[in-house]
Amino acid sequence: MTNNNTMQKKILLLGSGELGKEFVIAAQRIGQTVIAVDSYENAPAMQVAHGFEVINMLDGLELDRIVAKHRPDFIVPEIEAIRTERFYDYEKQGITVVPSAKAANFTMNRKAIRDLAAKELGLKTANYRYATTAQELQQAVSEVGIPCVVKPLMSSSGKGQSTIKSESDIEKAWNYAVEGSRGDVVEVIVEAFVKFNSEITLLTVTQNGNPTLFCAPIGHRQERGDYQESWQPAVVSDKDLFEAQDMAEKVTEALGGAGLFGVEFFLADDGVYFSELSPRPHDTGMVTLAGTQNFNEFELHLRAILSLPIFEIKLEKTGASAVILASGDSQNPTYSGIEELAALPKTDFRIFGKPTSRPYRRMGVALMSDTLETPAQEVVERAKVAAKMVTVNL
């Protein structure tokens, strides 16, 4: 007879935003214990977790303290701004870092993951350089050419990312990148502009002792470096999809561990370009909350972490997500238009419960689904209309 208590694990979630919140809900549903950690109180995931801690996760001693206090079975990072080098010590203590200490360290820093992909694994990427000063940025731009994209090595949700369209943009791009940088790394990556036709996220699930699985590709549109709408399935040729899956499998295998990775690609006339990778559920993957698959991305991440076998990932509907953004600063945001959105057919939504708002902060998402025969673009347009019905009141 199996003792069901052996499956109950304690998870320390580092970062408690909306993605972490959905992960906690998935974990709660199958009896796991989660302690949510972030730098501010009442973060979304804290609202549904068993317990919480408020610390600066870039403080290694503070991280050590809460790890020793809670003695988790798993450490699940949800953001970049963490003293990730401590993860190697936690692994030596017998704690599983998700997906692995190597994956967390490499992917929290764009330099490490880009060099792994381009130099070690030989994946096709945009031409790129690094810069640690405004003068180095000037030189890097002259080498990769204009237009080009500048991103901090450590940031999230598009913060600090901009496109240089003329030499007059260089100083502004440097200042914006430094302002949007997370952690104590002041360095940027400068990428040549890829003339892509579309960009996709390939949710890739690595498992302990079982094959790597792929979700149907997700298309997305960005503004200010952050996604605005995503849809599943994206239209991708068999050739490009095979190429993307091959790249995703190579890079996730090199990073090791089990869990869900969000691997981003550009699709261009001359093939597929590797762009970025997150070792956790991806914001564009919130479209899976529309019931597009038999398991959403948070459930897949959890099952892979717990070594629960995943028989298959089956696409069941066409779906889209569209973000609900704040227009200004508020210490107590409220919402109007929810009733109108809820009255729409084949529609759902999430309000994340963030305690404060600022301009363009993602406060919720509208979700739309339809049959697999329905064109994705039609579902996207309906999701955009639904999202615009909701106003964040300041």
Which residues are known to be catalytic?
A: 156, 158, 264, 276, 283-284, 362
> In whole angstroms, what is the distance from residue 364 CA to residue 369 CA?
17
User: What DSSP character marks residue 293?
Assistant: B
Query: 3-class DSSP state for residue 34?
Result: strand
- DSSP letters, 239-268, are HHHHHHHHHHHHHHHHH-SSEEEEEEEEEE
Supply φ then ψ for residue 124, to 5 degrees. -75, 125
Q: Are strands 10-14 and 74-77 parallel, antiparallel or unpaired?
A: parallel
Give the Cβ contact number of residue 176 at 10 Å: 18
Alpha carbons within 13 A on the beta-carbon side of 133: 3
| CB 123, CB 112: distance < 8 Å | no
90 token code pair: 């936690």
Q: Which of 72, 29, 26, 22 is nearest to 45 (CA)?
A: 22
| CB 176, CB 164: distance < 8 Å | no
> In whole angstroms, what is the distance from residue 250 CA to residue 70 CA?
34
Residues 6+ apart with CB under 8 A from 194: 126, 266, 268, 273
Cis peptide before 217 (omega within 30 of 0): no
| CB 232, CB 214: distance < 8 Å | no
| CB 285, CB 182: distance < 8 Å | no
Residues 6+ apart with CB under 8 A from 1: none
